[in-house]
Structure 1
Amino acid sequence: MQQKINVTEFVLLGLTQDPLRQKMVFLIFLIFYMGTVVGNMLIIVTIKCSRTLGSPMYFFLFYLSFADSCFSTSTAPRLIVDALSAKKVISYNECMTQVFALHLFGCMEIFVLILMAADRYVAICKPLHYPRIMRRQVCHILIVLAWIGSFIHSIAQIILALRLPFCGPNLIDHYCCDLQPLLKLACMDTYMINLLLVTNSGAICSSSFVILMISYVVILHSLRNHSAEGRKKALSTCTSHIIVVVLFFGPCIFIYTRPPTTFPMDKMVAVFYTIGTPFLNPLIYTLRNAEVKNAMRKLWHVKTASENKA
């Protein structure tokens, strides 16, 4: 029998209660969020408009940038607004929606990173079969499967969240709604739900990280048979991917693969993978990728030339 939910809204305590620090939080994360959206949208537009970035690697990068933008949007705007709000209230329905969005786009980012690693593995280890294996139709099917998998994961998370009865208090010691802080407020024994959470989110993070690391070890090992120029180009691409993987999965594994205990650094760790990593990804992929930078320059020159003619 489903228990009645007495709590209809929650209060997010945010990152700090100090007024001066709240203003600093507002300014810093406003800059981070604007940088995230602008950077990822720039990559999306460049890949969409450029004829030279039509390979599967950039097809997957397009969806990684989209997932990054949505993932950051699921948490950053509320953190920014709440930094200047006297009462940081979020309704029960808004809280559940945030849990769903956070896990949908976070899981999508994980699956896209795996697809990007698979693409690099085929390109480097099976170059003769690459055009046949990574056809555009196959890439579309893989992305659809990634969306379906992310949706299933998010549905599982929201089902766990909806089963939690809340009868007070309603203070969430976090800047967003997620299952870990909500478990602390539930009026029930949450051991089994936390076990399911670790089995679900924790297993996805840990197994995906292991798969990605193994794939890149295999890729890097196979590079010994390539030419010096080929090794340099492949190493540049793989290094970017490895940096993104470590930055994203390190905090995720720390948060989702442990018993129901909280640490003072939990909120800052969560900030790093929900806001920090989406901000860094465009910088990593543009600063270390000559093809993306060249495509951006060409599009800029075309736009400037068309404006001058007008």
Structure 2
Amino acid sequence: MEPVNITRVSEFLLLGLSEEPELQPLIFGLFLSMYLITVFGNLLITLAVTSDSQLHTPMYFFLCNLSFVDICFTSTTIPKMLVNIQTQSKGITYEGCITQMYFFTLFAELDVYLLTVMAYDRFVAICHPLHYMVIMNPQLCGLLVLLCWIMGVLNSLLLCLMVLRLSFCTDLEIPHFFCELNQMIQLACSDTFLSNVVMYFSAVLMGGASLAGILYSYSKIVSSICAMSSSQGKYKAFSTCASHLSVVSLFYLTSLGVYLAIALVTVFLSCSSVFYTLISGSMISPTLFFLKSVVIIR
């Protein structure tokens, strides 16, 4: 079968989670509820941090940025899925699919980078408490967030350009409820070797470097906590890091589950994707974990 040039592909089909008509209202209600919780929860966190001058610290500055990224992250996929369920349509235009893939990749990467920056922030706060405000000054905090955005934008752009050069056959069905990078590459009829190399190299380089930074920061944090003589000091130090560490574990484990599932079972892949998109972006999202930390600290 001759491949069709990508410029003539006008629409992809998102197969979603289930084709059973009786399950559609349940799926719609579940996703809509989770999405509203995510958006309004993160907006309330942002409002609380910006309106309270006592929370104008580096940790809460990064928290506000993470809240914004969480809202954008879920907004790239959930609204389109809700519209498709409501209209009983599975189609998404080629331009819409590429756009969704770009922003989904961008905000997923920003989550990783911001979690790494937060780990560094906790490292400085616990291991160098006397120099914390000097090291984590507003200029450095702004520079770190800007660097996260620059790396995310450039890397997401590179990955999308790899997809734009591919050609597709007549099979344009995506076994997801959103346009995901790996699934797009698998649909291509042209040679995908370079695209796969770039995708996995990017994942190992960016994700691996971020994970290494987080592990290094927490190795120093654990050493510093163990060296404390006061049990109350140990508890307070641990309470400021426990929520962040839980989110990091959740984020990386679910992300790993999504991509390992590709080689195992398609059904498991769908379940992992739902868990990753909803859970990491809603009630057990990074921002709500940190909200619990705020309650403990204050």
Taking structure 1 as the reference length, the TM-score comes to: 0.88
Residue 229 in structure 1 maps to residue 232 in structure 2: yes
Q: How many residues align?
A: 292
Residue 286 in structure 1 maps to residue 291 in structure 2: yes
CA distance 1:33–1:41, change in 2 (3 Å): same
Displacement after TM superposition at 1:255 (Å):
3.5
Q: Output the amino acid matched with 1:273.
A: Y
Distance 1:66 1:4 in 2: 33
Distance 2:207 2:244 in 1: 16
Q: What is residue 306 of structure 1 aligned with on the other side?
A: none
- Of 155-164 and 65-74, more deviation after overlay is shown by 155-164
CA distance 1:4–1:267, change in 2 (3 Å): closer
The question of whether the paired residues in 2 share the 8 Å contact of 1:99 and 1:157 is answered with: no
CA distance 1:209–1:256, change in 2 (3 Å): farther
Residue 146 in structure 1 maps to residue 148 in structure 2: yes
Q: What is residue 32 of structure 1 aligned with on the other side?
A: 34
1:41 pairs with one of 38, 43, 60: 43
- Of 68-77 and 210-219, more deviation after overlay is shown by 210-219
The question of whether the paired residues in 1 share the 8 Å contact of 2:123 and 2:221 is answered with: yes
Q: What is residue 299 of structure 1 aligned with on the other side?
A: none
Q: What is residue 250 of structure 2 aligned with on the other side?
A: 247
The question of whether the paired residues in 2 share the 8 Å contact of 1:40 and 1:65 is answered with: yes
Displacement after TM superposition at 1:85 (Å):
2.9
Q: What is residue 276 of structure 1 aligned with on the other side?
A: 279
CA distance 1:155–1:176, change in 2 (3 Å): same
CA distance 1:265–1:271, change in 2 (3 Å): same
* CA RMSD across the alignment: 2.1
Q: What is residue 92 of structure 2 aligned with on the other side?
A: 90
Q: Output the amino acid matched with 2:273.
A: A
2:268 pairs with one of 265, 269, 290: 265
Q: What is residue 123 of structure 1 aligned with on the other side?
A: 125
Report Cα offsets for 1:93-135 as digits up to 9, x if no partner: 0000001100111111111111110011011111122121100
The question of whether the paired residues in 2 share the 8 Å contact of 1:205 and 1:253 is answered with: no
Q: Output the amino acid matched with 1:116.
A: M
Gaps of at least 5 residues in structure 1 are 295-310
CA distance 1:76–1:57, change in 2 (3 Å): same
For the residue of structure 1 that corresponds to 2:101, the secondary structure is helix
Report Cα offsets for 1:4-56 as digits up to 9, x if no partner: 53321011000111112221110111110000001111111111111110110
Gaps of at least 5 residues in structure 2 are none
CA distance 1:262–1:157, change in 2 (3 Å): farther
1:109 pairs with one of 105, 108, 111: 111
- Of 280-289 and 234-243, more deviation after overlay is shown by 280-289
